Chain A
Amino acid sequence: MTWDNHFIILILPRLMKGLQITLIATLCSFALAASLGLVIAILEKTTRGIVHFCVSGIAHFIRGTPLLVQLFFLYYLLPYANITLPALACGIAGLGIHYATYLSNVYRSGIEAIPALQWEACTSCNLTRFQTWRYIILPQAIRPVIPVIGNYFIALIKETPLLSSISVMDMMGEASIFGDMHYRYLEPITMVGVLFLVIGLLARGAMILVTTSLSAFRLRYGKPDNGPKISEYSIEMDSFRDTVL
């Protein structure tokens, strides 16, 4: 059996249909992950005692277990709780929650990089807690970690084919159904791989644009950039230390 170009033309329309689902799943679950991750990070920072323990414990548990099993868990068990979601919504929820726990780490290192002076200044200006977070802490915490969040966005794109295991017809789902029907897997799966490579490259290009325009914006309108430099590496170091020590 060798490569067959005719076959490609046959699957391409199906893959495009799957691509739409993949993109919807990516964008929705990223939106969920970005917002829920922020909530987790703030909860971890503001709560003490048992609540803090529970929040960070659950986050650790989700981070330490495979996404696939979590998806199965949601997909098979939600109906027992009288919640019937379509497979796609279930997948988006699973992916979003899983990545929220990663992103909460990223936000947290952004928050922790803010010098204590800023918190003290908020107290002395008599800002409420909401004002402190909304106008002082978060704007400074989020901007330096945007490139890292972008990296997680790219990682999330690459996790979406897992949704095909709970019967979401994304690119991988379409490819494997097509493969089953014709008993030919070489072209469909290779095409899915190539498409992911293209999407990943596009996403990375977009990220570079966002990062450079952010720093250009800062150069033009803001103070010279003396803020903390936060890399993915340092975040991984931090999260590791946190877990172990």
Chain B
Amino acid sequence: MTGLVLSDLARSILHGLGITLLLTLSGSALAFVCAFVFGLGRISRWRSVRIFSIVYIEIFRGTSVFVQVFWLYYALPAFGLLLSPLFAGILGLGLNVGAYGAEVVRSAVQATGQDQYEACYALNLTRYQSYRYIILPQAFPRMLPVFGNNMVELMKASSIVSLISLADITFQAQQFRIRTGETFLPFAATLIVYFLLYLGILALVQAAMRASGPKSMKV
């Protein structure tokens, strides 16, 4: 009997793990793109781009990710845009964490010394060249640890998609609780799986830091 219950639990959590991983990875990819686009947009030469980026960052940092995901899922249909729960989840998580990441990109780029910009200017590099070859390679290792923390936040926030009926780990745990009446088992297992994901992300970021570290030191 217990064996059956345990294998049922393992199966449902594995099912949920797929969704959680999918959400975390694609949400992070979207957040990564948003972070660079709006982080660099915020210090752009063009006023309109700057204002647009600031509005985006303030709106998504100013409200809760929970409200954002709910808004995308429940309120957008009013404008004729019906998103699937998965898409709403990825979009909400990615845009939210992207706004936090944009601030990280901005501060890391601005922390690059003024002399670097002057050197670019002296070498007559174009703006694209100086960002691509001089500024960003130096700023990137500085962003990585904070990106890692942001990714952990995203992974944790992904549990809220269970409330818009997406079958991630948390949702599966709830279903299991309703199905079997067991309470401790599903939630304890869920917490442990999330903690393992957390450790996995930390290891991933550490590997990325190791890969990007020495290259930037070489001058």
Please classify the interface of chain A as helix (H, G, I), strand (E, B), loop, or mixed, using the class held by over half of its residues.
helix
Number of interface residues of A (CB under 8 A): 43
In contact, A66 and B159 (Cβ under 8 angstroms): yes
CB closest chain-B residue, reference A198 = B62
In contact, B67 and A172 (Cβ under 8 angstroms): yes
Chain B residue numbers with a CB within 8 Å of A77 are 183-184, 187
Q: How many A-B residue pairs have CB under 8 A?
A: 121
Chain A residue numbers with a CB within 8 Å of B174 are 72
B51 within 8 Å of A (CB atoms): no
For chain B, residues 54 to 97, give those with C-beta under 8 angstroms from any C-beta of chain A: 59, 62-68, 70-71, 74-75, 78
* Contact flags A221-245 to B (C-beta < 8 A → 1, else 0): 0000000000001001101110110
A165 within 8 Å of B (CB atoms): yes
A92 to chain B, nearest CB (A): 17
**Cross-chain contact of A69 among B66, B170, B198 (Cβ < 8 A):** B170
- Most A CB atoms within 10 A — which of B59, B75, B173? B75
B12 within 8 Å of A (CB atoms): no
Q: Which of A12-20, A118-126, A132-140, A183-191 contacts B (4 or more CB under 8 A)?
A: A183-191
A51 within 8 Å of B (CB atoms): no
In contact, B78 and A186 (Cβ under 8 angstroms): yes
Q: Which of A28-36, A38-46, A156-164, A205-213 contacts B (4 or more CB under 8 A)?
A: A156-164
Chain A residue numbers with a CB within 8 Å of B138 are none
B190 within 8 Å of A (CB atoms): yes
B57 to chain A, nearest CB (A): 12
In contact, A69 and B187 (Cβ under 8 angstroms): yes
In contact, B67 and A162 (Cβ under 8 angstroms): no
Chain A residue numbers with a CB within 8 Å of B14 are none
B5 within 8 Å of A (CB atoms): no
A70 within 8 Å of B (CB atoms): yes
B7 to chain A, nearest CB (A): 22
For chain B, residues 166 to 219, give those with C-beta under 8 angstroms from any C-beta of chain A: 170, 173-174, 177, 183-184, 187-188, 190-191, 194-195, 198-199, 202-203, 205-206
In contact, B67 and A161 (Cβ under 8 angstroms): yes
CB closest chain-B residue, reference A61 = B195
**CA of A68 to CA of B155, assembled, Å:** 12
In contact, B183 and A201 (Cβ under 8 angstroms): no
B160 within 8 Å of A (CB atoms): yes
In contact, B63 and A196 (Cβ under 8 angstroms): yes
A179 within 8 Å of B (CB atoms): yes
In contact, A240 and B149 (Cβ under 8 angstroms): yes
A189 to chain B, nearest CB (A): 5
B107 within 8 Å of A (CB atoms): yes
B152 within 8 Å of A (CB atoms): yes
A65 within 8 Å of B (CB atoms): yes
For chain A, residues 153 to 201, give those with C-beta under 8 angstroms from any C-beta of chain B: 158-162, 165, 172, 176, 179, 184-186, 189-190, 192-193, 196-197, 200-201
A1 within 8 Å of B (CB atoms): yes
From known contacts A66-B194, A69-B173, A185-B75, infer whether A193 and B159 are also in contact, taking CB-CB under 8 Å. no
A23 to chain B, nearest CB (A): 15
In contact, B75 and A244 (Cβ under 8 angstroms): no
**Cross-chain contact of B190 among A69, A189, A233, A237 (Cβ < 8 A):** A69
A53 within 8 Å of B (CB atoms): no
For chain A, residues 63 to 90, give those with C-beta under 8 angstroms from any C-beta of chain B: 64-70, 72-73, 76-77, 80
Chain A residue numbers with a CB within 8 Å of B177 are 76
B50 within 8 Å of A (CB atoms): no
Chain A residue numbers with a CB within 8 Å of B183 are 76-77, 80
* Contact flags A101-142 to B (C-beta < 8 A → 1, else 0): 000000000000000000000000000000000000000000
In contact, B64 and A76 (Cβ under 8 angstroms): no
**CA of A241 to CA of B202, assembled, Å:** 10
Interface residues of chain A, those whose CB is within 8 Å of chain B, are: 1-2, 61, 64-70, 72-73, 76-77, 80, 158-162, 165, 172, 176, 179, 184-186, 189-190, 192-193, 196-197, 200-201, 233, 236-237, 239-241, 243-244
Interface residues of chain B, those whose CB is within 8 Å of chain A, are: 59, 62-68, 70-71, 74-75, 78, 107, 145-146, 148-149, 152, 155-160, 162-163, 170, 173-174, 177, 183-184, 187-188, 190-191, 194-195, 198-199, 202-203, 205-206
